[in-house]
Structure 1
Amino acid sequence: MKSIYLGIDISKKTLDICLVDQKSEAFFKIENKIKAIKKLFKQITTLDAEIFIAMENTGLYNYNLYEVLKDYSFNVYVIDPKHIKRSIGLVRGKNDKVDAKRIATFIERNYQDFDCWKPTSEAVQNIKILMSQRRHKVKTRQAIKQQNKELKTVKRTKIISSSMKINLKEIEQINKHIAAIEKLIKEEIANDSVLEKDIERIRTIPGIGSVTAWTLAVKTDGFVRLTNPRKLACFAGVVPFEQQSGTSLKTKPRVSKMADMQLKSVLQMAAMRAVRMDNDLKHFYLRKVEEGKNKMSVLNAVRNKLIHIAMALIKNKSFYENRLVLS
């Protein structure tokens, strides 16, 4: 049976599609709507071939595709845009049609290196949307707080005072929105008993609170992907890599900038909380610092350990006990 590769470039309103087989290529442009996607895939199923479909992860714009693809048995891959960009070398110019072809060509050459996409549960899908909304609200709140901080450095006038009061009211409203979103997240988690129990497990780890646990659940699609702690730690950007070439270049191992910054950020906060509490992680941190290790390097090691402990608890269906031996 022959193979056919589809590269899909996703935008808010449209999907640009490049279909590549052994002899030819074809291009399509359809609306990013479930009805249009169903019509296209119905036609594709008539082809006597094994179908490989690849797309970049663009967040909410992928969701119509996900909704349709869960009803088909295609080989589907969701690729990090940075991976494709770094694989194509030096290029000049781009457009949606070219991007679709690059995605199709990329998956044709590299599909064996990736795991197929699998549909996530409805609860995880909803939590992803809610976490995205929460993240935007938190960023907006932080920006308004920064405005007030800057206004305090200016001579206090009636206009300045009024502006600060408006900002404080807006912050209060955003806090209510965030609380409402968090309530919805908890309700969605309660609808999935397995997910609820897994989140409860990792929340027993020192330093890991609700937001960190929710983020881990979202990034692992409900703890069904990236369950290998080493791969998850690499994804989160907490694994140091050596930089060495011949005798002229050799640096200390450093974490890579190619990381999921959302996950890395919440893990940083979790690690900072953990080393302030009386637990094995704090004792590990203090011991390494006393040995002369760099504090940030040790804190990064704590982030790494948080991931390994969390994945161990999920795998073993157990809860954290403050008696782990940490090397």
Structure 2
Amino acid sequence: MSKKKLDCSIFVDNININQFPHFTVTNDKEGYKNMLDTLKAMGYNPKETLFGLEFCGCYSDDLEQFFTKKKLSYTMLPTNVLKNYPRGTRDKNDKLDSAKLADYICRYDGTEAYKLRKLPPENLQKLKKLKSWRKYLVLQRTDWLNRLQECNSKEEEHICERYIKSLTKDIEKVEQEQLDIISEDEAIYTTYCHLRTIPGIGHVNAVNVIVITQNFIAFGTARQLARYIGVAPSSHTSGTSVHWRSRPSWHCDLQAKADLTRAARNAVVNDPEMRIFYERKMGGKVNKQNKDRDKERKALNAVMFKQVQRMFAIGKQARDWKPLNTLAPAMPVQLS
């Protein structure tokens, strides 16, 4: 998907995977149209064809939008399917990779091995792009902030401060664009306002969860969302000898996990209910003398999971968060 040309293979039963019909098209709108014309010329109806793509991030956006506009069925497979697929030779080339994709989606059709892909609404697509753009700007600003600590002259400091100020304005502009998009969609706006009533959940985490869950449609349970973010533990056992302790997987959205970590720390400080929960996980009140780093990490992970459960419940039930302790009212939020 990240090349100038796309390799296309068609599954044919009872023949070797290396002999599947194959052709190439350019990776642009004209090439996508040529792909459909070639399929028609070979006697295949694109409306009755299932297309398989490899996950390649933003590189597949144009083709996904083309399939969606033409109302064609397609699915996306992770890269380990191609890497570990047992059929075919051990050779590695684009033609064979496309043949493996075709073979996989046909042999596992109707099973839980994959699901049909569907693009989220346009507003969520815009939010996702702005989220990535904001992340890039924040990283750039952090680099300049670090550079500011190493400046040896006033001139260098002025240069760094100028870039930091400019990037800060750009970040604020991106956040305002996100708020404008959220305000245009009543369902997203309602969910956003409900999420912001949860202690510790600010603009960044609210947008993250809305984009990741496609406004709480893409995940069925809070644990599924927690596993995606890397908060819920996964087991690792085999037979009588392999019994690893359950731990969160590193194959997750690490940026969303980092943002949620900040939300959890904020909640421990500002939410009495969460502070009690955190201290119970730590085995009592915490200070610098009795702080155990490993225990702190596990307790903070439990707080993060609790935050995910809160967000999922609030998002699904479409209501404001209400504390168990009525003396600590929920924080109102308004879009600025």
Q: Which residue of 1 aligns with 2:281?
A: 288
Q: Which residue of 2 aligns with 1:53?
A: 51
TM-fit CA distance, 1:39: 3.8
2:249 to 253, 256, 259: 256
TM-fit CA distance, 1:300: 1.0
Q: Secondary structure at the match of 1:76?
A: strand
2:74 to 55, 73, 76: 76
Q: Which residue of 1 aligns with 2:214?
A: 221
Answer yes or no: is the 8 Å Cα contact 1:38–1:68 preserved in 2: no
Q: Which residue of 2 aligns with 1:135?
A: 135
Q: Which residue of 2 aligns with 1:297?
A: 298
Letter in 1 for 2:32: I
Moved more, 198-207 or 100-109: 100-109
Q: Which residue of 1 aligns with 2:334?
A: none
CA distance in 2 between counterparts of 1:80 and 1:279 reads 42
**Aligned ranges for residues 108-187 of structure 1 at < 5 Å?**
108-111=106-109, 112-113=111-112, 114-149=114-149, 151-152=150-151, 156=152, 160-187=153-180
Letter in 1 for 2:133: Q
TM-fit CA distance, 1:77: 1.6
**Aligned ranges for residues 26-105 of structure 1 at < 5 Å?**
26-41=21-36, 44=39, 47-48=44-45, 50-81=48-79, 83-84=80-81, 87-88=84-85, 94-105=92-103
CA distance in 2 between counterparts of 1:117 and 1:85 reads 18
TM-fit CA distance, 1:121: 1.0
Identify if the C-alpha distance between structure 1 residues 185 and 14 changes in structure 2 by more than 3 Å, giving closer, same or farther: farther
TM-fit CA distance, 1:42: 5.2
TM-fit CA distance, 1:297: 1.1
Matched, 1:190 2:183: yes
Q: Secondary structure at the match of 1:71?
A: helix
Answer yes or no: is the 8 Å Cα contact 2:237–2:244 preserved in 1: yes
Answer yes or no: is the 8 Å Cα contact 2:123–2:181 preserved in 1: yes
Identify if the C-alpha distance between structure 1 residues 63 and 147 changes in structure 2 by more than 3 Å, giving closer, same or farther: same
TM-fit CA distance, 1:12: 5.5
Letter in 2 for 1:256: S
CA distance in 2 between counterparts of 1:246 and 1:123 reads 48
CA distance in 1 between counterparts of 2:258 and 2:78 reads 19
Q: Secondary structure at the match of 1:238?
A: coil
Answer yes or no: is the 8 Å Cα contact 2:216–2:316 preserved in 1: no
Q: Secondary structure at the match of 2:322?
A: coil
Identify if the C-alpha distance between structure 1 residues 262 and 99 changes in structure 2 by more than 3 Å, giving closer, same or farther: farther
CA distance in 1 between counterparts of 2:266 and 2:197 reads 13
| Structure 2 spans left out of the alignment, 5+ residues | 285-291, 326-336
CA distance in 1 between counterparts of 2:303 and 2:37 reads 49
CA distance in 2 between counterparts of 1:141 and 1:14 reads 36
Matched, 1:204 2:205: no
TM-fit CA distance, 1:287: 1.4
Identity of aligned residues (%): 27
CA distance in 1 between counterparts of 2:196 and 2:207 reads 10
CA distance in 2 between counterparts of 1:231 and 1:145 reads 36
CA distance in 2 between counterparts of 1:106 and 1:76 reads 13
TM-score, normalised on structure 2?
0.81
TM-score, normalised on structure 1?
0.83
TM-fit CA distance, 1:284: 1.1
Letter in 1 for 2:140: T
Q: Name the structure where strand makes up a greater proportion of residues.
A: 1
CA RMSD of aligned residues (A): 2.7
| Structure 1 spans left out of the alignment, 5+ residues | 1-9
Identify if the C-alpha distance between structure 1 residues 249 and 316 changes in structure 2 by more than 3 Å, giving closer, same or farther: same
Identify if the C-alpha distance between structure 1 residues 161 and 26 changes in structure 2 by more than 3 Å, giving closer, same or farther: farther
Deviation per residue, 1:68-90 (Å, 9 max, x gap): 11134433222343x43564379
Letter in 2 for 1:295: E
CA distance in 2 between counterparts of 1:73 and 1:67 reads 10
